[in-house]
Amino acid sequence: MLAAGVPMLRSLNTVASGLDRHLQAEFLKLADAVTAGSTIAQTMSRCPRIFDPLDVMIIHAAETSGSLPELLDLLSKWHELCQRIARNIHSGMLFPIVQIHLTALLAPLPTFFLGGRQTKPYLFSVICILLLFYIPAAVVYVIRNMTPKTGPLRTSLDRLTIKIPVLGKAVYKMSLSRYCWVFHMLLKAGLPITDSAEKAAAAAGNAVVADQLRPGAASAKAGSPVSAGFSRQLPTDFLDIWRIGEETGLLDDVTKRLADSNAEAGEFLFTEFARWLPRLVYVLICLLIICFIFRNFAMVMSAGL
C-alpha cells in the first residue's frame, strides 16, 4: 500500500482491520503512535513480544532512509521463509510426538500385567519414559528463551546444535542467509558498510556463525574489505562470491543472491530433517521396547525360579 502511495495512517488502519484481535490491537497502537508523531520503530520497540528486535532495527533504518516500502517487502519475504520452515518442522515433529506418547503408555503394559496390575509402578514407568524426552526439550527451551543470547549457555547450545547431523548444517545455512539478508536490507536502507556488517553479525541467530562473521565489521572499520575479516572456516564458495561482489562493486546484489541460495539450501535440509526425524524416533522407540522385553523376560524367568 505504501508503494502504491497510500498514506501511512490509512495503510496501518487497513492492515489492522484484517488481523485477529491481539495483533489488531498492536497495529492500532502503531496507527495511534503515527498520529501522535512517533515513528513506527519506536512504537514497535515497546512491544517486544510481538515485534522481533531485528524487525525494529530494519524498520528504524528504513524510516531513516525513506525506503520503508522496499524494506518492508524484503522483510516480509524473510518472515514468509521462516514461517514455511517452521511449518515443515512442526509437521515433521507431530508424528514423533505421538509415537513417544504411545510408547510411554504401551511399553510398560507387560510389566503392569505381570506385576499384579499395580497402577503406581505403571505410572512411574510412563513418567520415566516421557521424562527422557521432556527434560532435554525443557532445557533447550529455557536456554533459548530465558538466557542471554550471548551468554555461555546459549553459546554452548549453538555449538552443540551445529554438530547435529543435517540439522546443524541447516541451522548453519540459515544463519548465513540471515546475515546476508540483514546486511542487504541495511545496505539498502543507506547504512554504512561497517554498521551493516556489525548489525548483521549480531542478528545471525547462531553464536558460532556470528563469531565467524563478526570480524568482518572490524575489517571494514580498518579500511579493508569486509571479507578480509571473515573466518576461513566459512564455506569457500561463500567467501569467493562475497569477494567478487566487493571487487565488482555489486555487493548489494551479491548479498541478496547469497541470502537466497543459503536460505534455499537451509530450507531443503530442514525439510529432510523433518522427514527423517520420525524414522530416528521410531528406531529409538524400538530399542526402548527391546529393553522392556528383555527386562520382562528376566522378571518371568526369576519368578519361575
Q: Give the pLDDT confidence of 209-256 residue by residue, as tens digits.
A: 999 999 999 999 998 999 999 999 999 999 999 999 999 988 888 998
Same domain, 164 and 176: yes
Give residue 270's identity as a one-letter amino acid code: F
**Which of 15, 33, 51 delimits the end of a domain?**
51
pLDDT band at 300 (very low <50, low <70, confident <90, very high): low
Per-residue model confidence as pLDDT tens digits over 45-80: 888 778 888 888 888 888 887 888 888 888 888 888
Same domain, 117 and 213: yes
The pLDDT mean for the chain works out to 83
Between residues 194 and 108, which one has the greater pLDDT? 194
Mark out the alpha helices in the chain (DSSP H runs).
Answer: 8-17, 21-36, 40-45, 53-65, 68-106, 109-114, 119-146, 152-162, 167-188, 193-202, 207-213, 215-221, 236-248, 251-304
Determine what percent of the chain is predicted with pLDDT higher than 70: 93
Same domain, 111 and 227: yes
Instruction: Say what the pLDDT of residue 215 is.
Output: 93
Q: Which residue has the cell 540483514?
A: 182
Same domain, 154 and 45: no
Domain count, the chain: 2
d(CA 250, CA 48): 35
Same domain, 113 and 22: no
| Residues 6 or more apart whose Cβ sits within 8 Å of residue 275 | 92
Instruction: Say what the pLDDT of residue 15 is.
Output: 86
Instruction: Say what the pLDDT of residue 114 is.
Output: 63
Same domain, 19 and 105: no
| pLDDT score of 35 more than 80 | yes
Same domain, 141 and 31: no
| pLDDT score of 190 more than 90 | no
User: Of 18, 63, 67, 20, which Cα lies nearest the Cα of 45?
Assistant: 63
Same domain, 263 and 133: yes
Same domain, 158 and 16: no
User: Of 28, 37, 31, which Cα lies nearest the Cα of 8?
Assistant: 31
Range of the domain at 60: 53-305
